[in-house]
Amino acid sequence: MKKLALGFVTAIIVLPIGCMAYFVLGFSEIRADAKPSTLETAILQSAVRASIRRSAAGILNPPPASDDAVIAGGKLYVLGCQGCHGDLGGAYQENYDLYPAPPQLPHFGTQYSEPELYWIVKNGVRMTGMSAYGPFYSEKELWALAAFLRRIDKLPPEMIEKIRPKKAGKNT
Amino acid sequence: MKNFIAGFVAGTLVLIFSTLIYLRLGLVDVRSGVPVPYWTARFLYTCTHASVARNAPKLQNPLPENDETLIAGGKLYLNDCVGCHGEPGKAPSDFGATFYPPAPQFPRVGTKYTEAQVFWAAKHGIRRTGMAAQGSSYSGPKLWSLAAFISRFPNLPPKVLEEIQQNPAK
Q: A46 to chain B: which residues are within 8 Å by CB?
A: 23-24
User: How close, in Å, is residue A15 to chain B by CA atoms?
Assistant: 7
Q: Mark the ranges of chain B whose per-residue pLDDT is less than 50.
A: none
Q: Which domain holds residue B73?
A: 37-166
Q: Is B124 on the interface with A (CB under 8 A)?
A: yes
How much is the pLDDT for B170? 60
Looking at the structure, tell me whether residues B131 and B54 fall in a common domain: yes
| Selected residues 55-74 of chain B with any CB under 8 Å from a CB in chain A | 55
Q: Which residues of A1-25 are buried (b: 16+ CB within 10 A; e: fewer)?
A: eeebeebbeebbeeeeeeeeeebee
Q: Say how many CB pairs under 8 Å bridge A and B.
A: 202
Q: Which residues of B119-158 are buried (b: 16+ CB within 10 A; e: fewer)?
A: bbbbbbbbbbbbbbbbbeebeeebbbbbbbbbbbbeebee
DSSP code of A157?
A: H
Pick from A2, A24, A51: CB nearest B28: A51
Specify if A172 maps to a domain. no
Looking at the structure, tell me whether residues B24 and B72 fall in a common domain: no
Looking at the structure, tell me whether residues B4 and B88 fall in a common domain: no
Separation of CA A166 from chain center: 28
- The answer to whether the complex's ipTM is over 0.85 is yes
Looking at the structure, tell me whether residues A63 and A147 fall in a common domain: yes
Residue range A111-149, pLDDT digits in tens: 999 999 999 999 999 999 999 999 999 999 999 999 999
Q: A20 to chain B: which residues are within 8 Å by CB?
A: 43
Looking at the structure, tell me whether residues B6 and B60 fall in a common domain: no
Contact B6 A4 (CB under 8 A): yes
Looking at the structure, tell me whether residues A19 and A61 fall in a common domain: no
Looking at the structure, tell me whether residues B82 and B117 fall in a common domain: yes
Looking at the structure, tell me whether residues A142 and A106 fall in a common domain: yes
Q: How many domains are contained in chain A?
A: 2
- Which CA distances in Å does A5 have to A132, B78, B125, B168? 45, 59, 44, 67
Contact A98 B49 (CB under 8 A): no
Specify if A168 maps to a domain. no
CATH of the domain at B159: 1.10.760.10
| 3-state secondary structure string across B42-77 | HHHHHHHHHHHHHHCCCCCCCCCCCHHHHHHHHHHH
- Give the global pTM: 0.92
Q: Which domain holds residue A6?
A: 1-28
Looking at the structure, tell me whether residues A131 and A148 fall in a common domain: yes
Q: How many domains are contained in chain B?
A: 2
